């Protein structure tokens, strides 16, 4: 990605992500923070949902659940995102009984 301009990166990320995950039926993603970089002009959740059309995607979300919303960053932060959780399957360590 370093060889690409900022605009090219924004346009190429979905294809690059598909290339990375290949044809695997289950994909585990961690450290997805780069997807929130404002210069990429991405909607990270939409990108992950698109990726999940043909496979199961499990992504570690470095945010929190506040009420009925999945939240990334603080509201005054440039990378702030908030999504309703109603269409998502959310599993949190607090919900797992060991």
Per-residue pLDDT tens digits for 83-96: 999 878 888 776 56
E runs forming strands in 8-73: 26-29, 56-59, 64-66, 69-72
- What's the pTM? 0.84
Per-residue pLDDT tens digits for 32-69: 999 999 989 999 999 999 999 999 999 999 999 999 99
User: Is 11's pLDDT higher than 60?
Assistant: yes
Q: CB of 10 within 8 A of CB of 42?
A: yes
């Amino acid at each position: 990605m370093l060889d690409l301009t900022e605009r090219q990166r924004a346009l190429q990320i979905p294809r690059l992500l598909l290339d990375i995950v290949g044809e695997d039926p289950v994909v585990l993603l961690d450290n997805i923070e780069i997807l929130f970089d404002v210069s990429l002009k991405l909607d990270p959740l939409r990108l992950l949902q698109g990726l999940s059309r043909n496979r199961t995607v499990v992504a570690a979300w470095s945010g929190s659940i506040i009420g009925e919303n999945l939240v990334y960053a603080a509201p005054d932060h440039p990378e702030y995102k908030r999504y309703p959780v109603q269409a998502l399957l959310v599993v949190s360590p607090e919900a797992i009984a060991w």
